[in-house]
Structure 1
Amino acid sequence: MRTVKGLNSQPKPSERQVFPMKFSAAGGWWGKDWYDKVRLGEKYGFPGVEQLGWLGLDFDLAKKTLDETGVTSTAIVIQSVKKENMEKTAWGHGMVWEDSRPAFLESFRESVEAAKKMNVPNIIATTGNERFDVSREEQFEICVKTLRQMADIAEAEGIMIVLEPLNVLVNHMGYFLVTTEEAVKMIKAVDSKNCKLLFDIYHQQISEGNVIRNITNNIDYIGHFHIADNPGRNQPGTGELCYTNIFKAIQATGYDRWLAFECGRTLDVPDLVREMHNLIDPFSK
């Protein structure tokens, strides 16, 4: 265990200072390209916009756009300019394979450099699909070893790895990492302050429900949130989740990192913006 610098040495909070919450708009809500989406994020009053892919970006123009608007690009995914790395890190192969580790590490270094050029705080990591030739325990340990080496890079560069469990019932059949419990177990095993959980509220509602309790019980290990309603994966208010209560519970923990909308929309943009600000503004001031 790496308890000297890791999460496991941190005490669990009892009382926390409450912070204004930071919300990032979904990149798919508007705009013709990456740069336009950022400018529209500023126009519509969002301090962040989440667009996960970075390949092909003009980093000088991206940085200029972010600086001029004051908008934060809140997360990117692990990618590589090398086709062979992208194949090794794709879900059909993925982190659960030992031979994918060199590709993951090289791709992660590339992604860190992209993040640094745009001041992106989070890089999203996924495990890939479950294998059936070795045990889950062995796949778990393979992922931990890869994440530990990635975490060493992240710590040196001041970047947060956020590890994402996904649902297998609706969207990602066969994916390895599904439950909050197993994801937190993996993060504890990595034991780095720069490797936390991406709690996607939509995915975890489908996988296990019990959203507020799972969030509050594991808030020390959560570094990022994704927001969408269920069913449908559209904006809050279109499904079964009570986001007002979810946001109240998150804010009460003292969480001070980003919450990003990752969802479609059922409304025209002006109506969407009005409804989302009515929801989030009480928590962001």
Structure 2
Amino acid sequence: MSMQRRNFIKNLSLGGAAASLVGGSSLAAYANESRAGQPFNLDYAPHFGMFKNHGGDGLVDQLKFMADQGFRSLEDNGLLGRPVEDQNLIGRTLEQLGMRMGVFVVDGGDNWKVSLTTGKQEFIDNFVNTCKKSVEAAKRVNAKWATVVPGYFERKLPIGIQTGHVIEALKRGAEVFEPHGLAMVLEPLSDNPDLFLRFSDQSYAICKAVDSPSCKILYDIYHMQRNEGNLIAMMDLAWDEIAYIQIGDNPGRKEPGTGEINYLNVFKHIDAKGFKGICGMEHGNALPGKEGETALIAAYRKADGFK
């Protein structure tokens, strides 16, 4: 392939690259020629199923494929619901491959997810018990972060009272996590207007009130683009409480380059801040099949190409 042709491919937008793929051109050329298999500049974490057409259905084979492509971490939202033997298998495989474990969700069921704002003891007790189960799962996979979503507004209570209830519940969770070096990362979401935690500044204030190394922010770029925008500036303001980052372009919640976010600049800024944590790939694939998976890898090589 000529240098001119190579440069042309590297300068394609993802949309154009995807269109070329559908039209028969090989987007794989971008992935193959752009440090294929080498570690990325940032530590991006895929999830199970993202590369099932290449890696197959088995957890181990999927992890091996991720590692072969240069990914150094995994995130698995549903880890807590997996059998203990699968958790142990994931932990052993990550260790063998030299990979890190990203977030999993502290999922105690909708009864507490929609109710921490109420301050009711039954929901706080369920949350604390789920935190204790999460500690045991985290040990099996050497996890350092676990996602917590406070849930829905309690419309019958003033917002300040709801906030106080959430803070007190999170203090209880932090007491469970602190001795084990595990941090719950609060995720402000954009899925629907009933969700209590929606903004980075709101999350920042709650973390300051909880005042624990085990209560930090999960800054999901997709959700924050939808809820508040001004990504780099807002990230800077909340930076000392951000422990984990997630990725997804908007609109569509697919890989970088499929929406409006300039991920090349965002990733460059995150790297310049000295971020050594994990950037979870919390999104779907824009295209189906092996071709879509190849396009996704190429998209990350492109967006990660800031140095």
Tell me if structure 2 keeps the 8 A contact 1:144–1:189: yes
Cross-structure match for 1:150 = 173
Match of 2:300 among 263, 276, 285: 276
Moved more, 30-39 or 109-118: 30-39
**1:169-194: CA deviation from partner (whole Å, max 9, x where unpaired):** xx223101111111111111001122
Cross-structure match for 1:104 = 127
What's the CA shift for 1:147?
A: 0.7
2:90 alignment partner AA: A
What's the CA shift for 1:129?
A: 0.7
Query: Is 1:56 the counterpart of 2:100 in the alignment?
Result: no
2-structure distance, mates of 1:33, 1:76: 19
Cross-structure match for 1:9 = none
Query: Is 1:27 the counterpart of 2:48 in the alignment?
Result: yes
**1:63-104: CA deviation from partner (whole Å, max 9, x where unpaired):** 22222222222111113xxxxx524223xx332132210000
Q: Quick check: which one's helix share is greater?
A: 2
| 1:1-285 aligned within 5 A | 21-31=42-52, 32-54=57-79, 55-57=81-83, 58=85, 59-79=87-107, 85-90=108-113, 93-99=114-120, 100-167=123-190, 171-267=191-287, 268-280=292-304, 282=306
Identity fraction in percent: 29
Which secondary structure state, in structure 1, belongs to the residue aligned with residue 252 of structure 2? Answer: coil
Which secondary structure state, in structure 1, belongs to the residue aligned with residue 125 of structure 2? Answer: helix
Tell me if structure 2 keeps the 8 A contact 1:234–1:266: yes
2-structure distance, mates of 1:255, 1:112: 25
**1:19-60: CA deviation from partner (whole Å, max 9, x where unpaired):** x53221243412325444322211222001211112123233
1:128 alignment partner AA: G
Which secondary structure state, in structure 1, belongs to the residue aligned with residue 254 of structure 2? Answer: coil
**1:240-259: CA deviation from partner (whole Å, max 9, x where unpaired):** 00011111222222222111
Tell me if structure 1 keeps the 8 A contact 2:43–2:279: yes
1-structure distance, mates of 2:73, 2:266: 20
Cross-structure match for 1:15 = none
Aligned length: 254
Tell me if structure 1 keeps the 8 A contact 2:268–2:306: no
2-structure distance, mates of 1:40, 1:73: 16
**1:177-232: CA deviation from partner (whole Å, max 9, x where unpaired):** 11111111111100112211000100010001110100112110101011010000
Which secondary structure state, in structure 1, belongs to the residue aligned with residue 46 of structure 2? Answer: strand
**1:139-173: CA deviation from partner (whole Å, max 9, x where unpaired):** 10111011111112221100111000011xxx223
**1:114-143: CA deviation from partner (whole Å, max 9, x where unpaired):** 011110111000010111111111110111
2:210 alignment partner AA: V
2-structure distance, mates of 1:153, 1:177: 22
Moved more, 113-122 or 59-68: 59-68
2-structure distance, mates of 1:230, 1:28: 21
Q: TM-score, normalised by structure 1?
A: 0.84
1:149 alignment partner AA: R
Q: TM-score, normalised by structure 2?
A: 0.78
Compared CA separation, residues 166 and 126, structure 1 to 2 (3 A) = same
Moved more, 139-148 or 22-31: 22-31
Tell me if structure 2 keeps the 8 A contact 1:23–1:47: yes
1:63 alignment partner AA: G
2-structure distance, mates of 1:157, 1:165: 24
Q: Please, which runs of 5 or more residues in structure 2 have no aligned partner?
A: 1-40
Which secondary structure state, in structure 2, belongs to the residue aligned with residue 41 of structure 1? Answer: helix
When Rg is computed on C-alpha atoms for both structures, the one with the higher figure is 2
Which secondary structure state, in structure 2, belongs to the residue aligned with residue 77 of structure 1? Answer: coil
